[in-house]
């Protein structure tokens, strides 16, 4: 499942030596008076092999009246869905979303007499598949059966909890090690942890937007 | 037109990142 582990640690001093001068304003109440500290940020990233792919297709049709545009779209989208189901992809999940019917107006300069010249219908289908090696064939199947836009292809891992915990632990360890370097450079040992805070924990989906003219 | 090859699309790995902030007290002075 997990193929590679890439750790990047980064630490910076955000503040140091909080010893207050006698004439300065009082320190924040949570800080011990006279205590010196360093604050460090740490970051780490763990790479997880993708075991899911999500591909979105759109069917766009256009006709002079709304009913005709909708009918053409229904026929075309049904053909796409039937073709994908018939292709026998394992664990293929299909859902439609974002159906829209819109009038298309003439582009004359007279704004008061805009005329409807056509209607366009969009319907979208989102597919999720566990076999990431057949995404190319899935795309081909949709296009060959009539889909006229491939909106997005994304790869992701279904379970990222272990990776998240691992990245968090590595980020803390990296920050701690940087803190030891900074403290010894200042001529001190590293003391006790006084505060910790988890920052942003994120995942970057790899995404390939694709468009067909 | 028939074609032999499927569109090649390679899966990419997912990156999970974490950021933390820690505040650590300075301990004893070295050499004490």
Following DSSP, what letter does each residue of A85-113 receive, concatenated? HHTT-TT-EEEEEEEEEEEEE---S-GGG
Chain B's closest residue to A163, CA to CA, is B16
State whether residue B32 sits within 8 Å of chain A by CB: no
Residues A69 and A74: their CA atoms lie apart, in Å, by 9
Supply the pLDDT for residue A1: 39
Residues A38 and A182: their CA atoms lie apart, in Å, by 8
Task: Report residue A143's pLDDT band, with 50, 70 and 90 as the boundaries.
Answer: very high
Chain B's closest residue to A189, CA to CA, is B27
Interchain CB distance below 8 Å, B18 and A135: no
Residues A126 and A56: their CA atoms lie apart, in Å, by 4
- Has residue A58 got a pLDDT over 90? yes
- What is the pTM (predicted TM-score) of this model? 0.69
CB A131 within 8 A of CB A89: yes
Q: Write down how long chain A is.
A: 213
CA distance A150 to chain B (A): 13
Show residues of chain A in contact with B11, CB under 8 Å.
49-50, 53, 132-133, 135, 155, 206
Contacts with A129 (C-beta within 8 Å, 6 or more apart), sequence order: A52, A53, A54, A55, A89, A90, A91, A92, A93, A135, A138
- Has residue A156 got a pLDDT over 60? yes
Task: Report residue A126's pLDDT band, with 50, 70 and 90 as the boundaries.
Answer: very high
Q: How many CB atoms lie within 10 A of CB B28?
A: 10
CA distance B3 to chain A (A): 10
Q: Which domains does chain A have, with CATH numbers?
A: 13-48+159-204 (no CATH), 52-156 (3.30.70.2970)
- Has residue B17 got a pLDDT over 50? yes
Beta bridge partners of B14: A48
CA distance B16 to chain A (A): 4
């Amino acid at each position: 499942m997990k193929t590679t582990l890439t750790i990047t640690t980064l630490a910076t001093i955000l503040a140091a030596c909080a010893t207050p001068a006698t004439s300065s304003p009082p320190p924040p109440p949570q800080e011990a008076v006279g205590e010196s500290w360093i604050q460090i940020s740490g970051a780490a990233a763990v790479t997880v092999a993708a075991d899911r792919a999500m591909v979105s297709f759109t069917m766009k049709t256009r006709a002079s009246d709304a009913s005709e545009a909708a009918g053409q779209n229904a026929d075309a989208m049904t053909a796409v869905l039937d073709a994908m189901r018939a292709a026998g992809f394992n664990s293929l999940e299909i859902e439609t979303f974002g159906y829209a019917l819109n009038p298309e107006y003439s582009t004359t300069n007279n704004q008061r007499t805009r005329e409807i010249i056509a209607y366009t219908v969009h319907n979208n289908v989102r597919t999720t598949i566990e076999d990431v090696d057949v995404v190319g064939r899935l795309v081909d199947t949709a296009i060959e059966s009539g889909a006229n836009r491939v909106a997005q292809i994304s790869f992701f891992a279904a379970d990222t909890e272990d990776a998240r915990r691992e990245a968090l632990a590595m980020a803390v360890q990296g920050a701690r090690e940087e803190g030891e370097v900074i403290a010894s450079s200042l001529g001190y040992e590293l003391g006790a942890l006084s505060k910790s805070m988890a920052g942003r924990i994120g995942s970057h989906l790899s995404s390939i937007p694709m468009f067909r003219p | 037109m028939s074609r032999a090859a499927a569109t090649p699309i390679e899966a990419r790995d997912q990156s999970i990142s974490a950021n933390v902030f820690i505040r650590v007290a300075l301990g004893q002075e070295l050499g004490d």
